[in-house]
Amino acid sequence: MSARKKAEPKGDGITGFPFAPEREGSWKITLPCTKAEAEQLAGDPPELALLDPPPTLMTSEPDPDKPEDWQLDAYVEGKPTRALIAAVTALVPSAAKVKPVVTHIPEEDWVTLSQSGLEPIHAGRFFVHTPHNADHVPEGMTGFVIDAGRAFGTGHHETTTGCLMMLDRLKRSGLRFDDIADVGTGTGLLAFAARTLWPAARVIASDIDPVSIEVTAENAAVNAVPIGRGRGQVELVVAAGLAHRRLKARLPYDLLIANILAGPLIELAPVFANAVLPGGTIILAGLLDSQAEAVARAYRRQGFYLAGQIVRGDWPTLRLVKRKR
């Protein structure tokens, strides 16, 4: 990212947040945070749903020699209000006494950040990239255009990458699935990948956030993924867990994917178990390595066994199979 000149403070107590006529475009709120806080923010904290406009969060490790010191950058459209800045600051309690750095981003810099600033992701046979890299899909790989935007799941987080790798592993092992659900779909990427691997399957993707479903529909159009209820199509619904008549009408599933958070995964274990065929597979992600045993235990109690896992950094992706009675 190119360096940007910061606006001079004018006595409001917030670095780079001048008392100037409001400027349109994108703004960035920067705060230090801990590694643990950065990992929590990767799961799209529910507090974001209460913010208007909701920011796009990006966390990074500025200095590899200081692995516990991370940075939060929150991007918003339009000049952020004091209330919005306070809400973002509340996401990182370790920075409670730190003055946020708030800067205006010229349009061309925001485009550079959201496009070329995100390197393509290789995950199994999948190549996930922004429109900036559309001409660089390696031969023999399946490319998906997923722009940096309003929903989680660009492929750049270890949880999404791990799920893509797990799907690729299942396909290479010769498994076939006919009824697939992607719960907490985010950008739709995992549903698109599953449909590509098993093109004759019926696929449904859901998310508790209506914005995520809007983003998924947009991404489906960009990637020529047909939306609908038939085989080879992806159906989209807004729902918490499996609480939607269309999700219930499609029961049972032989493959269920849920890249959400450890708490909801444990809470939903009985619901997911009842939704999956004996011998069916559940792919779970969004949990930390320290949470993996608790999540696996919740599903063992529902008649599943751990059939495999992929660990990316501190983020495991679990494959659980329902025992045949």
Residue 158: its pLDDT value, please? 81
What CATH number should be reported for the domain holding residue 52?
Answer: 3.30.70.120
Q: Which of 88, 109, 130 is the last residue of a domain?
A: 109
Cβ burial, residue 144 (10 Å; 0-12/13-18/19+) = buried
CATH number at residue 258: 3.40.50.150
**Helix, strand, coil shares of the chain as percentages rounded to 5?**
30, 30, 40
pLDDT of residue 49: 67
Classified as helix, coil or strand, 118 is coil
Residue at a domain's end among 92, 109, 126: 109
Taking only the tens place, the pLDDT of each residue in 33-76 is 998 888 777 656 777 767 666 787 877 777 767 878 888 888 88
Report d(CA 263, CA 285) in Å as an integer: 11
Q: What is the pLDDT of residue 36?
A: 85
Instruction: Answer yes or no: are the C-beta atoms of 108 and 186 closer than 8 Å.
Output: no
Q: Could you tell me which residues are annotated as the binding site for S-adenosyl-L-methionine?
A: 160, 184, 207, 259
pLDDT value at residue 22: 42
Q: Which two tokens stand for residue 249?
A: 């009408």
Establish if 42 belongs to a structural domain: yes
Domain range for 58 is 26-109
Query: What is d(CA 313, CA 132) in angstroms, rounded to the nearest whole number?
Result: 27
Contact (CB, 8 A) for 187 and 154: yes
Strand, coil or helix: 23 = coil
Please name the amino acid found at residue 40: Q
pLDDT at position 106, please? 66
How do residues 264-313 score in pLDDT, each as one tens digit? 999 999 999 999 999 999 999 988 888 999 999 999 999 999 999 999 88
State the binding site.
160, 184, 207, 259
- Between strands 142-145 and 179-183, the pairing is unpaired
Question: Residue 206's pLDDT is what?
Answer: 95
- Residue 14 domain-assigned? no
pTM assigned to the model:
0.66
Q: How far apart are CA 299 and CA 223, in angstroms?
A: 34
Domain tally for the chain?
2
Same-domain status, 165 and 253: yes
One domain, residues 178 and 308 = yes
Question: Is residue 134 classed as helix, strand or coil in its secondary structure?
Answer: coil
One domain, residues 166 and 242 = yes
Low pLDDT (below 50) residues in the chain: 1-23, 108-117, 150-155
